[in-house]
Structure 1
Amino acid sequence: MTAVAPDPGVSKCPFHGAAPDAALTPGGWPVSARAAAFDPFEDGYQQDPPEYVRWAREQEPVFYSPKLGYWVVTRYDDIKAIFRDNLTFSPSIALEKITPTGAEANAVLESYRYAMNRTLVNEDEPAHMPRRRALMDPFTPEALKHHEPMVRELAREYVDRFIDDGRADLVDQMLWEVPLTVALHFLGVPEEDMDTLRKYSIAHTVNTWGRPGPEEQVEVAHAVGKFWQFAGKVLDKMRGDPSGPGWMQYGIRKQQELPDVVTDSYLHSMMMAGIVAAHETTANATANAMKLLLQHPQAWRDICEDPSLIPNAVEECLRHNGSVAAWRRLTTKDVTIGGVDIPAGSKLLIVTSSANHDEHRFADADLFDIRRENASDQLTFGYGSHQCMGKNLARMEMQVFLDEFARRLPHMRLAEQRFTYVPNTSFRGPEHLYVEWDPAQNPERHEPSVLKARATVRIGEPSSHAVSRAVIVESVSACADRIVRVRLASPDGKPLPGWAPGSHIDVICGDSGLSRQYSLCGDPRDRSAFEIAVLREQESRGGSAWIHANVKAGDVLKIRGPRNHFHFAADSHRAIFIAGGIGITPISAMARAAKAGGIDYTIHYSGRRRASMAMLDELAALHGERLNVHVLEEGSLNDFTSLFALADEHAHIYACGPVGMLEAVAASCAHWPEDALRVEHFVSTKTTLDPSKEHAFEIELKDSGLVIPVAANQTVLAALQQANIDVQSDCREGLCGSCEVRVLAGKVDHRDMVLTRAEREAHNRMMTCCSRSCGGERLVLEL
């Protein structure tokens, strides 16, 4: 029996009042009334799947649906665990008809010699991964870059058609045809009649995930049969000249190289499935995104004013209202999911759209926040070895479409309408999306340069460093020699995001895009502003020099964060704070929290001269005798050896400052408990790669079934992103912790400035932007 993300709060038989007709699960347990009533073909599910199953997510996260004959799973951790284990949870039913068709419809399909086989979506191991690896290269970020100009040209051409009309149905007039055209171009398929292919695609969706009645089943079967024949004819034509640039031609060439892996039936099935998968989800996802953005006018204004927000806005749209509501799996053995025992051979409907609204994973999950830092954790594309290979093609298209609309139609708004959806369990997007605007206000009528502007598209890197927010500089004041204190507030006067002691923000310094991290030094309880103190470095890399020379009250800056990798344990019995120079900034916020929380604490603050030490008077007023000041020019040095002579198992040490000081602190408390010392570095000293001194090695991705080489001149992060694996990143210097992954096996050569000594010695986490394998041995990662 396999235990999958058990929830101790749920019993082996969770139900909340048996159904009136005493429906039972396959194991004989009563089915709750809510579970018995569950029907994904109802309008409530079509309109808002996460809201429709909120009751389950909160009260009964795994339940049996008698109407479907499926177990339904609704929470993030359970669903990710299912995606991670494709042996226990077979994808073989992912494309199975959820509503069995009758004899007449089956006879129609047989007349077309319809013989849909397994594809990348629903194939089991050991066949799946060799085929996936063989066909993956065209989907990598590097290979996708050359498609962007074509997508931009199409987007502009279609907007040109209706921009002066003042009203459009974005689905009918753009968002269906453009992704279909891109899909055909990517696959290498000749552009056929768009309306016919659209009918084929909808028929395929209804045939697989819908509930058509007997008469509709026959009509759908004819369309699906014709679609199958169309795919076969195109494939035969391609075989005559497989030298073209499309993915199907690539597959034909791979078939010549690997005939046992890429077979005839596989190519035929992939041709048909690829036409649907490569465009329908993108068309629906973009329609959902535009609907969502226009329903949130402030978010729409934000991306119109700052297109750099678009990549993360796409991730948040995919999370909040994605185009894939649910997937399916089949259990291959008895298993426990969320505390519920489920027998082998059970069918699962895993509601990914519900997982994307799970409060345990996404704080304030129902809030639409285009700056959400973990938006790319969404499961709309799946996860693991069966994650959607075309995810980055979809992301790229969505970014281009949003950029085109934001530049050319920022005044666009939703027209009055009722949104309708093709009833099915899995794929969702509005059938129509009516918008309107005043053509006289079209920016290009007054500024032709609008047509030439282009926002940067991020392909294959859902990075938090693309997310920024505008703040206004309330004040800039000198607080010590070469140190200014900057107070930043929200331009609209609304509260800023909450933060905890030890947090930092990234300040974007000018138009160059250069960003630098600065710890927050104000009162964490004050949501009206962020405060930072910036030292003008003698050898500035551009950040502190720019701030000192340029920033003044009234300016608008862009920042990212706050983020926290220097956490303060608010439940500590005792805290010892060590600060050197500008390292007092995060320590000052921690000391405030310690005082407010009634924690026993002392502060040891070192500097060369009193005049160069920030916030001395403020600290003295707040902390009195708990503050110990050590000034070099006065002959006062902090004696770390004496300070840490006696280990205290109930104390934590927090240190921030110059590298030499941090090394001295670490040496002096080496005999303390492993996790007693917590440090923050401002500069990384270990991240420069010297290929002549590095080992090449391999990383094995346990969840994705891949083995990837890492060259001597390459970081693990770069190797992962080149292989189309999603990993967050930001500083790329081992300072911020964004690119952390779990290590399942192997010894890590840690080069980051984030992990504690105990975390390093455990070798179960690493920062992929800088850390490597010890001695060139293989690392096994949970990816």
Structure 2
Amino acid sequence: MTGESVAQGCPVTPQGCPVSDRAAAFTPFGDEYQHDPGAALAWAREQEPVFYSPELGYWVVTRYEDVKAIFRDNITFSPSIALEKITPTITEADEVLRSYGYAMNRTLVNEDEPEHMPRRRVLMEPFTAPALVEREDMVRRMAREAVDAFVDDGEVDLVTEMLYQVPLTVAMRFLGVPEEDIGPLKEYSVAHTVNTWGRPNPEEQVRVAHAVGNFWRYAGHVLDKIRQDPSGPGWMQYSVRKQAEHPDVVTDSYLHSIMMAGIVAAHETTAHAAANAVKLLLERRERWEELCARPALIPNAVEECLRYSGSVAAWRRVATTDTEVGGVSIAEGSKLLIVQATANRDPRHFEDAERFDPRRESAGEHLTFGYGAHQCMGKNLARMELQIFLQELTTRLPHLELVEQDFQYVPNTSFRGPEHLRVRWDPARNPERHDPRVLEVRHPVTIGEPSKHAISRAMTVTRVERVAERVVRIRLEEPDGKPLPAWTSGAHIDVDCLDGDEVLTRQFSLCGPPDDHHAYEIGVLLETDSRGGSRWVHENAVEGATFHVRGPRNHFRLDADAERLVLVAGGIGITPVLAHADRAKSMGLDYEIHYAGRAAEHMAFLDRLRRDHGDRLHTYVPTEGHRMDLARVLADVSAGTQVYACGPDRMVQALEELAESWPDPGALHVEHFSSALGALDPGVEHAFDVVLSDSGLTLRVPPDKTVLQTLREHNIDIQSDCEEGLCGSCEAPVLAGDVDHRDVVLGRGDRAAHSRMMTCCSRACGDRLVLQL
């Protein structure tokens, strides 16, 4: 242990191991942890990422990779204690529970293999995307009716009037529970939370035990009613029907336990997450206004809210063998509190982790829903509700603001959300009073992790300059002058180009000075056979225009350790090559540039290249009697030489053929901005299995669907953007099997290794792939 220490009880040695003062003082039941557990444990994440808490008798784990590794390995780290009372109950409280026949058993949350996964597979279908689509209208209608009830009031407690009641009703309908008994469920749910994850005093324990006992009886009563007629659409009805097919998997004791646990899990965490999200956005007013102006950001904003201020702060596991976490020895039988709230703000995984940014591309990598075989099954229902709540509020009450108030939380280790959230607004400014068409607005909902298509920033065109025939250089800046994310040579941005009702996404390399943090510059050729992208850019690139931009991303990185660099460009392919040349020069590397164009007036940035790179530049212009002979240019690609190229397909194909004879064929790096990927032909493709090592699932990918589509249909989160094999955002690690690579992102060496694939287009060569998902 680090820091000044005091002797405390420890599970490692009988005499007690050193426990730092901060570890000894840690309590999750105080205000600091309840209000912001991510911040409360930042000290531990940076100084003592795995520490023993005498207060809890648990090891506390705070870093992203450690938390994810524990979730991933549900054999070494059993979930069996997830619903165990963190505070042992007194005898009187235990007697109260027994008087109600309380017999909470294993559920999907806290059961081990081999029982867990067969049960999860049998019961998963109602949680998949196709099934949840049918729930959208119900959720939207209830959210709309909730706002209708208070939209003209001017002030309301959003928790009591919307953000608790709607998730509770949605949960009841999803589960198939009769709604007439909703009244006591809030009391029951709070009691269950306090009983399991809180620290009630002896008097409170008896009171809570009565509420939990009544909850148990209520769950049994509801289950008996469902058994009488299990034909309805609810998940419990579905589970009862599945029991008839799989009586050894879906048992009686399981159904009663999941009835009770499901009522809590299906609404309590969603209600808390919704309140956390609205509070967080209103505290950062500029972010709220951003969503009001650009509703397409809402799906990703939900992910960022879950990352930064989620409703599930921590979860629990127990070590089944002697093991190690973050370099700390953990003995068999040790209990662990794994704190997602602080792991989600780990700067080792999330760049500028303390910044709350609805455009964060990695937001969906949060661990709020857990990870692996026990990841929350209801995550996509929760995402749907949160998106619809934010859509409704930002559309109808964009002028909403927080009332000054003290926020109260139920003290416990694992779940958090304000008990009340008072907001106010001026009803006279309600948009629907001035334009009733506001009520007709219906923004699309993303079921699953959002596509990066929505994560764009509005940038202003501040300069347009012609740099060659049919080529313009465009300078883009943030409207408010704020600095932009840094980029390195080879990076590109994605620009959304509106073609009628269709949004086309096109990639353009950055070619301005990398040390200019207030602008991005791109060079765009008006293609003769434009698919719509370059034509749109040329028609709309005027000073003051707004472009919606994503990125930057880089799949064409320069090897700064190369002994020699050969940079090859054809036509507009000069844009990434120019950036590489500038970087090579700034680093003092050995480099040369070979640039071909059909005529000098068509060669962009030629004057700047001559000025800045002098005799390192070699140009090839057929009209001047000079053609580029690639075989001669690349006759000496010795070990230590790296070749970077961007240009027409015929040039790229010629380079790939030449690379076959080089000492290291992987020395060729090519940038692509087009793909020959077409629609799948089911008559040509074959079906194959994808085994997900972290989730414990085996999925069948049919001939007419991609791996990406199959993953999404089975509730597996994976990001995507272009879905053409161009951008690399849907990449997945491959543990076994040969990949039929069809992307234009991976280089020769990566393809040969078969260690990763683009799930939007690539497939299996054989019958099986094992992915680390």
Query: Same-fold call, TM > 0.5?
Result: yes
Partner of 1:580: 570
2: CA distance, partners of 1:29 / 1:569: 47
Partner of 1:727: 718
Return the offset for 1:23: 4.5
Partner of 1:8: none
2: CA distance, partners of 1:374 / 1:517: 19
2: CA distance, partners of 1:767 / 1:266: 39
Taking the TM superposition and a 5 Å limit, the aligned residue runs for 1:652-671 are 652-670=642-660, 671=662
Partner of 2:261: 273
Partner of 1:3: none
Taking the TM superposition and a 5 Å limit, the aligned residue runs for 1:254-273 are 254-273=242-261
Taking the TM superposition and a 5 Å limit, the aligned residue runs for 1:443-462 are 443-462=431-450
Return the offset for 1:22: 4.6
RMSD over equivalenced CA pairs, Å: 1.3
Deviation readout 1:370-393 (Å, 9 max, x if unpaired)? 100100000000000000000000
Q: Give 3-state SS (helix, strand or coil) of 1:534's partner.
A: strand
2: CA distance, partners of 1:755 / 1:169: 52
Alignment partner of 1:178 out of 162, 166, 171? 166
| Counterpart residue identity of residue 77, structure 2 | F
Question: Is 2:523 the partner of 1:566?
Answer: no
Q: Give 3-state SS (helix, strand or coil) of 2:643's partner.
A: strand
Distance 1:660 1:241, change over 3 A: same
Q: Give 3-state SS (helix, strand or coil) of 2:317's partner.
A: strand
| Counterpart residue identity of residue 81, structure 2 | I
With normalisation by structure 2, the TM-score equals 0.98
CA contact (8 A) 2:11 2:331 kept: no
Taking the TM superposition and a 5 Å limit, the aligned residue runs for 1:149-228 are 149-228=137-216
CA contact (8 A) 1:75 1:354 kept: yes
1: CA distance, partners of 2:44 / 2:562: 37
Partner of 1:307: 295
Partner of 1:85: 73
Partner of 1:387: 375
2: CA distance, partners of 1:672 / 1:320: 48
Alignment partner of 1:637 out of 627, 631, 641? 627
Deviation readout 1:155-184 (Å, 9 max, x if unpaired)? 111111111111111111111000000000
Q: Give 3-state SS (helix, strand or coil) of 1:516's partner.
A: strand
CA contact (8 A) 1:687 1:770 kept: no
Deviation readout 1:612-634 (Å, 9 max, x if unpaired)? 11111111111111111112333
Larger deviation, residues 273-282 vs 506-515 = 506-515
CA contact (8 A) 1:57 1:358 kept: yes
Question: Is 2:760 the partner of 1:769?
Answer: yes
| Counterpart residue identity of residue 596, structure 1 | S
| Counterpart residue identity of residue 684, structure 1 | S
Q: Give 3-state SS (helix, strand or coil) of 1:279's partner.
A: helix
Distance 1:22 1:273, change over 3 A: closer
1: CA distance, partners of 2:207 / 2:102: 15
Q: Give 3-state SS (helix, strand or coil) of 1:156's partner.
A: helix
Partner of 1:26: 12
Return the offset for 1:674: 4.8
Question: Is 2:696 the partner of 1:705?
Answer: yes
1: CA distance, partners of 2:574 / 2:444: 37
Distance 1:397 1:455, change over 3 A: same
CA contact (8 A) 1:177 1:194 kept: no
Question: Is 2:671 the partner of 1:684?
Answer: no
Partner of 2:478: 490
Return the offset for 1:462: 2.4
Question: Is 2:745 the partner of 1:759?
Answer: no
2: CA distance, partners of 1:23 / 1:240: 53
Alignment partner of 2:519 out of 529, 537, 562? 529
Alignment partner of 1:714 out of 698, 701, 705? 705
| Counterpart residue identity of residue 761, structure 2 | C
Question: Is 2:118 the partner of 1:130?
Answer: yes
| Counterpart residue identity of residue 70, structure 1 | Y
Q: Give 3-state SS (helix, strand or coil) of 2:133's partner.
A: helix
Return the offset for 1:712: 0.9
Return the offset for 1:25: 4.7
| Counterpart residue identity of residue 732, structure 2 | V
Return the offset for 1:602: 1.0
Taking the TM superposition and a 5 Å limit, the aligned residue runs for 1:74-473 are 74-473=62-461
Return the offset for 1:644: 2.7
2: CA distance, partners of 1:431 / 1:357: 24
2: CA distance, partners of 1:560 / 1:458: 18
Unmatched runs of 5 consecutive residues or more in structure 2:
none
Deviation readout 1:434-465 (Å, 9 max, x if unpaired)? 11111111111111111111111100132222
CA contact (8 A) 1:468 1:558 kept: yes
Partner of 2:28: 40
1: CA distance, partners of 2:612 / 2:673: 26
Partner of 1:672: 663
2: CA distance, partners of 1:190 / 1:458: 28
Partner of 2:544: 554
2: CA distance, partners of 1:223 / 1:608: 81
| Counterpart residue identity of residue 718, structure 1 | Q
2: CA distance, partners of 1:50 / 1:716: 35
CA contact (8 A) 1:687 1:734 kept: no
| Counterpart residue identity of residue 777, structure 1 | D
Distance 1:22 1:709, change over 3 A: closer
Q: Give 3-state SS (helix, strand or coil) of 1:389's partner.
A: coil
Return the offset for 1:687: 4.8
| Counterpart residue identity of residue 261, structure 1 | V
CA contact (8 A) 2:11 2:334 kept: no
Deviation readout 1:396-446 (Å, 9 max, x if unpaired)? 000000000100111111111111110000000011111111111111111
Return the offset for 1:647: 3.3
CA contact (8 A) 1:411 1:437 kept: yes
With normalisation by structure 1, the TM-score equals 0.96
CA contact (8 A) 1:687 1:752 kept: no
| Counterpart residue identity of residue 5, structure 2 | A
Residue correspondences, number:
768
| Counterpart residue identity of residue 264, structure 2 | V
Deviation readout 1:640-659 (Å, 9 max, x if unpaired)? 22333333332321111112
Larger deviation, residues 188-197 vs 103-112 = 188-197
1: CA distance, partners of 2:261 / 2:282: 32
| Counterpart residue identity of residue 565, structure 2 | A
1: CA distance, partners of 2:189 / 2:770: 39
| Counterpart residue identity of residue 680, structure 1 | E
1: CA distance, partners of 2:706 / 2:208: 50
1: CA distance, partners of 2:366 / 2:346: 10
Unmatched runs of 5 consecutive residues or more in structure 1:
1-13
Q: Give 3-state SS (helix, strand or coil) of 1:507's partner.
A: strand
Distance 1:295 1:694, change over 3 A: same
2: CA distance, partners of 1:586 / 1:688: 29
2: CA distance, partners of 1:518 / 1:754: 15
Partner of 1:17: 4
CA contact (8 A) 1:203 1:224 kept: yes
1: CA distance, partners of 2:227 / 2:358: 45
| Counterpart residue identity of residue 18, structure 1 | S
Distance 1:154 1:452, change over 3 A: same
Deviation readout 1:187-218 (Å, 9 max, x if unpaired)? 01111344411111111111110000111111
Question: Is 2:587 the partner of 1:597?
Answer: yes
Q: Give 3-state SS (helix, strand or coil) of 1:761's partner.
A: helix
2: CA distance, partners of 1:571 / 1:254: 59
CA contact (8 A) 2:8 2:54 kept: no
CA contact (8 A) 2:60 2:338 kept: yes
